[in-house]
Amino acid sequence: MSDSSRDTAEGAGWGATELGTYKRLMPPKVEKISWLDPRMLWAARNGVLASWFGDPTGRTRSRWVAQRTAAGAPADKVIRRDDPDRFSFLVIGDTGEGDDPQYAVVPGLLKVGQDTRFTVLTSDVIYPVGSADEYGTKFFRPYQDYQAPIYAIPGNHDWYEDLGAFMRVFCDDAPPLAPEPAPRPFSRARLRELLWHRPRKGDGQRLDEARKLRSAAAQQAAQPGPYWAIDAGPVRLIAIDTGLLGTLDAEQGAWLREVSKDPRPKILITGSPLYVDGEHHPCEIEGGGTVDDIVRDPAHRYVAAIGGDIHNYQRYPVQVDGRTIQYVVSGGGGAFMHATHTIPRVDIANVTEKEFRCYPLRGDSLAFYSTLYGRRLRLRRFFTLTEAQATAVIAERLEIQPGRAAAPDARITWRTRLVAGLLGTGRRPDRAKRFRLPVRKIYTSLFSPSSATYSPPFFKQFLRLDVTPETVRLRCYAATGNRAQELRPPVEDEVTIPLI
């Protein structure tokens, strides 16, 4: 097995000299997404509008589901497969920016996943607004050589055009929804409708041509709607759609409670992680209760909950009534990297730093962002920290043993401490200052890695889950963009989950 980032700096991708082969898969011209572009922000405005003027997602989702049921999709939204008792599948999240980091994941994914039965894509299939004509370069092309079905749940970005393109691609080419009656004049809903972003005229004309890239019979997967369940071998996978604002409508909540009654062990797939960045987000259900209430109920036999939306990997093994539920974040499939160095020292639900896992390691995340800010602000000599310096200052600020031992000669100076503070590096919770918390939330939005030209290591990841009647083995594989990790994708984390 090749070195991981927990073993050596080279295993993390630092100092590599040979670029991976992923660029051969990419189209000749790649349009990079910049979240500093006002046009991009304006196109992605629907999330803000929904929070200001009311969220229409639940009503729209209900109409999509009703349309699919009328077209013959199973009313219980369960996909019944013929997988054996022992099989494997992949999970990959937040993929579709269509640039180097997304394609850098593909060679390792194809190598590790060549014997898998299917893949589940968790959240944000297409950035920035889920447009149909972007599926060619951001979905069909990168995964054209994966010879098994791909199922998906939408993220908030897929909802920015009311889910039309997602439904066409993943739900048996569902036709457009009929328009709803106009809201009352001078109402909040009317103002929202006037400002609402909609697909550009003619969007989707290239979709039929793009489909040819994944046209083999073995690659096809028609799902009953934006949320669904899969009965696969000895387990049931339950995938929920958390829409624009990370909540469930009452209709979907009732369905989730019903399908959770099945006696077999279950894994939840969600666009909104329930534990993330050292915090608990139980995910409210309209009308009362939360998704995590359902997951924790021992009668439902959930063994894991895997969420996208946050573009890195995290794992929290939470003890619930004498059993362990693995709460996982897996959103490192291609979109810009959300920092891990901003995560404070973990102490939540009896999960401490000893049990917590993340990728990239906090030191690698800090070194990555310091290089990015140094380049963007043209202050390289001041901002840039080596991976050894970043690892050492993380250990000092959080008072932890880092995932990879710091170099013995790594010096912590006033500059490294200042840069770490400016870039929002976490601390022990009892030493964090309240006024610092908003900085941690917003600083990575200023210069996201997709807002600049940059090179490996990318710190991307995907999951492979190996199922038997007794256990599920979950492994997190890394993709850095370097040839070494492409040839032998390193395992960054591994856990065996009992089913009995």
pLDDT score of 92: 98
Residues 6+ apart with CB under 8 A from 258: 76
pLDDT score of 444: 52
pLDDT score of 20: 93
Judged by DSSP in three states, 421 sits in helix
What does the domain layout of the chain look like in residue ranges? 21-339+461-498, 362-439
pLDDT score of 312: 96
- Rounded to a whole number, what is the largest CA-CA distance in the chain? 68
Kind plus residue range of the DSSP H or E element containing 48: helix 46-53
pLDDT score of 440: 45
Q: Tell me the C-alpha distance between 211 and 231, whole Å.
A: 26
Q: The tokens of 393 are what?
A: 């200052």
Q: How many helices (H) and strands (E) are present in the chain, helices listed first? A: 16, 18
pLDDT score of 267: 98
**Percent of the chain as helix, strand, coil, to the nearest 5:** 35, 20, 45
pLDDT score of 438: 45
Low-confidence ranges of the chain (pLDDT < 50): 434-442, 451-452
Q: Are 344 and 390 in contact (CB under 8 A)?
A: no
Fold of the domain built from segment(s) 21-339+461-498: Purple Acid Phosphatase; chain A, domain 2 (3.60.21)
pLDDT one-digit tens code per residue, 225-237: 999 999 999 999 9
DSSP string of 163-179, one letter each residue: THHHHHHHTTSPPPPPP
pLDDT score of 104: 96
Q: Tell me the C-alpha distance between 410 and 62, whole Å.
A: 56
pLDDT score of 487: 92
pLDDT score of 30: 85
DSSP summary character for residue 306:
E
Q: What is the pTM of this model?
A: 0.95
Q: Tell me the C-alpha distance between 189 and 193, whole Å.
A: 6
Q: The tokens of 356 are what?
A: 């917590």
Q: Tell me the C-alpha distance between 351 and 344, whole Å.
A: 13
DSSP string of 61-89, one letter each residue: HHHHHHHHHHTT--TT-EEE----SSEEE
pLDDT score of 39: 86
Query: Distance between the two ends of the chain, CA-based, in angstroms?
Result: 29
Q: Are 233 and 87 in contact (CB under 8 A)?
A: yes
Amino acid 176 reads P
pLDDT score of 222: 87
pLDDT score of 117: 98
